[in-house]
Every structure is written in structure tokens, then in C-alpha cells.
């Protein structure tokens, strides 16, 4: 984003804003009543038994929380930008952990067993999830190239088929597509197993989205490139292969990376076919001893971590292409 060269005073450093913010925060803490939490216990020397502290207790707890919150903001505001970002990240993450901790979970369950539950999810589920996503994104890319060309062509059949395809597969919920392919195709005599079904559904669905990305990528190459190639006597296929696609790729890669990240998470839907990927194992391993949330949280963490890694890889690829052009 464009940052202007004129610096304004930070809002947090204006007393009026600080006062208003404090009032608002106080109101929120008061409304949600944290008296019966760990904070109330912490203040019990002042307010006595939290449960019986009444209005005074509630107000005191809210007041202390407000001061902590606003002081925290104020302190962070003095730090340098990078430090600010780091601190806020860490604090939000700790809040998330506190949120999970408040479920009263048996965290040790995740690491129980030999091999541990989390070990099982990684050794069996993670591989399957990545394998399904990677194969699907490759097939989807191939579909998208063909689909984009068909959508840009003057051939009525090609255009009609491609636009029907994108319309249908963008218009149906992915879960429905998975069921249709798994249960519907065998009725036609095409017997496909669970994993190929899942891959087919993911490829077709994301192929439809990526067709639009590729189409836009190809279309954004200036007309002059086509004209110059045409004027040199290049045939169509050569222009596409050597001139247009190489220039479209830097434009296509960032949204394709986003699609891959989205697909990685949507691959959890194929768990309904009994494929032992992360989501399936999370549900079933938790079901055995009624520790559902523990395993779901584990799956959440694995997905999140995977996404962060993929985002880093994507940023690196983007940087590489930016340098080149």
C-alpha cells in the first residue's frame, strides 16, 4: 500500500482517544463479566470471593483488565514497526492458546499411545493430504490451461463445453461433487475408488476456478504481443507456448498458490469417502476415547502450519518472478 510522506500523530498518543478507548474497553469487559475466571481469583485479595463480589467485584476486574489492555497497546505503540508486528502476533497466538486451553482439554491425549496420536496423523494423514492435494493441483492446472484456451477460442463447441464446465463445477458444493463422482460414476460403469474419486472431484472443482485465473492471465497480455507474433508469421500454438504463456505465468502463480492453499484445506472433505487423511484421522482417533476437540485442534494446527509453510514458499516464488520481469 502507498504510504504518504506526511506523518500524523498516533491516535493512541492522543489523550482524548485514549480516554474514549478505555471507556469502550471497560464497557466490553464489564458486559462480558470476567469475574468468575482466573482474573477474578487473581484479584480475590481485593474483592474477596469472586462469586460473591457482586457489582464492585465485576467493576474492579473490568477496570484492572482495561488498564492491562490499554497499557499493553500503549507500550506496543512505542516499539518499531517490525517489533510491533512480532509482539502482536505472539499475543494473538497466546490468546488463541488460552482460548483452546479454556476448553478444559486433555492435551496429553494428543501425545498418548505408541506411536502417538499426533504421530499417526502426521505419518498416515499428512502424507495422504499432501499427496491428494499435489496430484489434484497438477491435474487442475492441466485442465485450467485447456479450459482457458477453449474459453478464449472462437470455436462454439469448445467455448460451450468450457463455459458449461466452469459454470457447473463452480456452481456445485465440493462435497456434493465428491459424492456425485464417488457414487454416481459407478452407475455408468466407471468404477473408481475413493482416492481417485477424491482427486477427480478436487481437480475438476479447482480446475474450474483456475480456468478463470488462467483465462484472465492470458487475456491480460497486451494485444500487441499477439500482433507482433502474428506479423512474424508464428502459428497459433507457438504463440501460446512461447510468447503468451511464459508471460502469463508470473500473473497466474500468485492466485494459483492461493488455490493450492485452499485446496489443501478442502481436501479434508474427501474424508467422507473413508480416505485416511488428516481430517478423517482427527475425527476417528478422537471418537475412540471421546477426545474429539483435542484431535480436531491437532488437525487445525497441522493445517495451519502447512498453510504457513506454503505461504512462505509462495512468497518466495512471487519474489523470484518479480525480480525477473
Partner 1 sequence: MSIKLGFKKSSIAFTALLLSIGMTAQAGVVYDYIKNNNELMIATDANWAPFSYINDAGEMEGFDVDVGREIAKRMGVEARFITPDWGVITAGNWNMRWDVSVGSMTPTEGRSKVLNFPAVYYYTPAAFAVHTDSPVTTLAGLNGKNICTTASSTWEMYLEGSLDMLNAPAFTYKVTPGTITALADGHTCLDDTRLGAGVRNDGIIDSVPMIQGAIEDGYPIKFLGDPAFYEPLSVATDKGNSDAELDAEIARIILEMQKDYTLTSLSMKWFKNADGSSNDYTVAY
Partner 2 sequence: MANNIKMQTNSEDKPIISLKSVSKWYEDFQALKNIDLEIKLKEKIVICGPSGSGKSTLIRCLNRLEAHQEGQITVTGIELHERMKDIDTVRQDIGMVFQSFNLFPHLTVLENCMAGPNWVRGIDQNEAKERAMALLKQVKIPEQADKYPEQLSGGQQQRVAIARSLCMQPKVMLFDEPTSALDPEMVSEVLDTMVELAESGMTMICVTHEMGFAKQVADRIIFMDEGEIVEQNTPEEFFNNPKNNRTKAFLDQVLS
Select the binding partner of residue 187 from partner 1, partner 2, none (C-beta < 5 to 8 A, by kind). partner 1
- Minimum CB distance to partner 2 smaller for 77 or for 225: 225
Select the binding partner of residue 193 from partner 1, partner 2, none (C-beta < 5 to 8 A, by kind). partner 1
Annotate 243-257 with b (16+ C-beta within 10 A) or e (fewer).
bbbebbebbbbebbb
Select the binding partner of residue 289 from partner 1, partner 2, none (C-beta < 5 to 8 A, by kind). partner 1
Give the integer Cα–Cα distance in Å for 311 and 315. Answer: 6
CB of 60 to partner 1, least distance (A): 28
Compute the radius of gyration of the chain from its Cα atoms. Answer: 27
Give the integer Cα–Cα distance in Å for 218 and 282. Answer: 41
CB of 222 to partner 2, least distance (A): 8
- Minimum CB distance to partner 1 smaller for 116 or for 314: 116
Tell me if 288 contacts partner 2 by CB under 8 A: no
- Minimum CB distance to partner 2 smaller for 232 or for 305: 232
Pick from 6, 7, 10, 29: which is nearest to 73 by CA? Answer: 10
Site string for partner 2, 219-258 (x = CB under 8 A): ---x-xx-xxxxxxxxx--x---xx--xx-----------
Provide the greatest CA pair distance for the chain. Answer: 89
Select the binding partner of residue 41 from partner 2, partner 1, none (C-beta < 5 to 8 A, by kind). none
Up-side HSE of residue 318: CA atoms within 13 Å toward CB? Answer: 14
Tell me if 48 contacts partner 2 by CB under 8 A: no
- Minimum CB distance to partner 2 smaller for 232 or for 308: 232
Element (H, E) at 219: helix 194-219
Binding residues for partner 1, rule: CB under 8 A, are 112-115, 117, 120, 123-124, 182-183, 186-187, 189-194, 196, 272-274, 276, 280-281, 283-290, 292-293
Select the binding partner of residue 246 from partner 2, partner 1, none (C-beta < 5 to 8 A, by kind). partner 2
CB of 31 to partner 1, least distance (A): 21
Pick from 217, 222, 301: which is nearest to 259 by CA? Answer: 217
Pick from 307, 272, 122: which is nearest to 195 by CA? Answer: 272
Burial of 50 (0-12, 13-18, 19+ CB in 10 A): buried
Is the distance from CB of 57 to CB of 50 less than 8 angstroms?
yes
Give residues in contact with partner 2 (CB under 8 A).
Answer: 222, 224-225, 227-235, 238, 242-243, 246-247, 324-325
Amino acid at each position: 500500500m502507498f504510504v504518504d510522506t506526511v506523518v500524523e500523530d498516533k491516535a493512541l498518543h492522543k489523550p482524548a482517544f485514549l480516554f474514549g478507548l478505555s471507556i469502550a474497553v471497560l464497557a466490553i469487559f464489564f458486559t462480558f463479566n470476567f469475574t468468575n475466571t482466573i482474573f477474578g481469583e487473581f484479584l480475590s485479595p481485593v474483592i474477596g470471593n469472586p462469586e460473591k463480589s457482586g457489582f464492585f467485584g465485576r467493576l474492579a476486574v473490568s477496570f484492572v483488565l482495561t488498564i492491562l489492555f490499554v497499557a499493553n497497546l500503549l507500550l506496543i505503540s512505542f516499539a518499531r514497526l517490525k517489533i510491533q508486528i512480532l509482539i502482536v502476533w505472539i499475543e494473538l497466538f497466546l490468546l488463541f492458546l488460552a482460548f483452546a486451553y479454556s476448553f478444559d482439554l486433555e492435551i496429553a491425549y494428543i501425545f498418548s499411545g505408541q506411536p502417538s496420536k499426533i504421530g499417526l496423523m502426521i505419518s498416515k494423514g499428512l502424507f495422504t493430504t499432501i499427496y491428494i492435494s499435489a496430484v489434484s493441483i497438477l491435474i487442475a492446472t492441466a485442465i485450467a490451461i485447456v479450459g482457458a484456451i477453449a474459453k478464449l477460442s472462437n470455436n462454439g463447441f469448445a467455448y460451450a463445453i468450457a463455459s458449461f464446465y466452469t459454470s457447473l463445477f463452480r456452481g456445485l458444493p465440493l462435497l456434493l461433487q465428491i459424492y456425485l463422482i464417488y457414487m454416481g460414476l459407478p452407475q455408468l460403469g466407471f468404477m473408481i475408488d475413493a482416492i481417485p474419486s477424491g482427486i477427480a472431484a478436487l481437480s475438476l472443482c479447482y480446475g474450474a476456478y483456475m480456468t478463470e485465473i488462467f483465462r484472465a492471465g492470458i487475456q491480460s497480455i497486451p494485444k500487441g504481443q499477439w500482433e507482433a507474433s502474428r506479423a512474424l508469421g508464428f502459428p497459433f500454438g507457438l504463440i501460446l507456448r512461447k510468447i503468451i504463456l511464459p508471460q502469463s505465468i508470473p500473473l497466474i502463480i500468485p492466485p494459483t498458490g492461493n488455490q493450492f492453499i485452499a485446496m489443501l484445506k478442502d481436501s479434508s472433505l474427501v474424508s467422507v469417502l473413508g480416505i485416511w487423511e488428516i481430517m478423517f484421522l482427527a475425527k476417528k482417533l478422537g471418537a475412540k476415547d471421546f477426545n474429539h476437540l483435542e484431535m480436531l485442534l491437532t488437525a487445525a494446527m497441522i493445517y495451519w502450519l502447512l498453510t504457513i509453510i506454503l505461504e512462505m514458499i509462495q512468497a518466495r516464488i512471487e519474489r523470484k518472478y518479480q525480480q525477473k520481469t
